[in-house]
Structure 1
Amino acid sequence: MKPITAFYLTHCPYCRNAKAAIEELITENQVYRTVPITWYEESENPEAVKGHTYYYVPSLFIGHEKLYEAQPGQTYEEIKKHVKASLDKALAM
């Protein structure tokens, strides 16, 4: 299993949806609780962002490999699907 690094902005609705999706996924399957996720508020942690290429938040990475980058207009269901795929990939590594 590999840890996930996640970048977000405090007032971002997509970021809130991603965090809610993680909580929902953990409720559905407790194995997701074992994936370590470190969240960085990008405007407060510019050093953590270095070396990670993305434009939108939330963005999820394993190392510098981007697993997911939200896109404008994504629904909660779309975000949850991408977050689940990211967690599954982290578990498989």
Structure 2
Amino acid sequence: MKDILLFYLPGCPHCKLALRLQEELLAEHPEWRDIPFQKVDESREPALADAYDYYYVPTYYVDGRKVHEGHAERADVEKVFRLAVED
């Protein structure tokens, strides 16, 4: 299983949607709840955010590799979780 890292901003409507979609997917796929997942509010952790190469939030990384940046649809968030569990 790979780690997921999400950079977000609390007031961002795209981030709120991504987080809501994530909750829906975790309810449908309880096996995904064991995936190591870290949410980083970029406004509270600017040094960590600056260490990564991205321009828009939400931005997902799987094992340090950027896999999605910007507005996320359900399929995008699902892809992130599927990448985290594939061998």
Identity %: 32
Kindly indicate whether the alpha-carbon contact (under 8 Å) linking 2:62 and 2:83 is maintained by their aligned counterparts in 1.
no
Kindly indicate whether the alpha-carbon contact (under 8 Å) linking 2:4 and 2:38 is maintained by their aligned counterparts in 1.
yes
**SS class of match (1:44):** coil
Q: Is 1:3 matched up with 2:3? A: yes
May I ask how many residue pairs the two structures share in their alignment? 87
Give the residue type in structure 2 aligned to 1:3. Answer: D
Aligned to 2:42: 42
Kindly indicate whether the alpha-carbon contact (under 8 Å) linking 2:58 and 2:69 is maintained by their aligned counterparts in 1.
yes
CA distance in 2, matches of 1:41, 1:47: 11
Any unmatched runs of 5+ in structure 1?
A: 72-77
Following TM superposition, by how much is the alpha carbon of 1:63 offset from its aligned partner in structure 2, in angstroms?
A: 3.6
TM-score (norm 1): 0.84
Aligned to 1:75: none
Following TM superposition, by how much is the alpha carbon of 1:27 offset from its aligned partner in structure 2, in angstroms?
A: 1.3
Kindly indicate whether the alpha-carbon contact (under 8 Å) linking 2:15 and 2:57 is maintained by their aligned counterparts in 1.
yes
Name the Cα RMSD after superposition. 1.4
Write the mapping of 1:1-93 to structure 2, written as runs, cut at 5 A. 1-71=1-71, 79-93=73-87
Moved over 2 A (4+): none
TM-score (norm 2): 0.89
**SS class of match (2:73):** helix
1:51-85 Cα shifts (integer Å, max 9, x gaps): 311111000112431011124xxxxxx52111100
Any unmatched runs of 5+ in structure 2?
A: none
Quick one: structure 1 residues 32 and 44, their matched pair in 2 at CA, closer, same or farther if it must change by over 3 Å? same
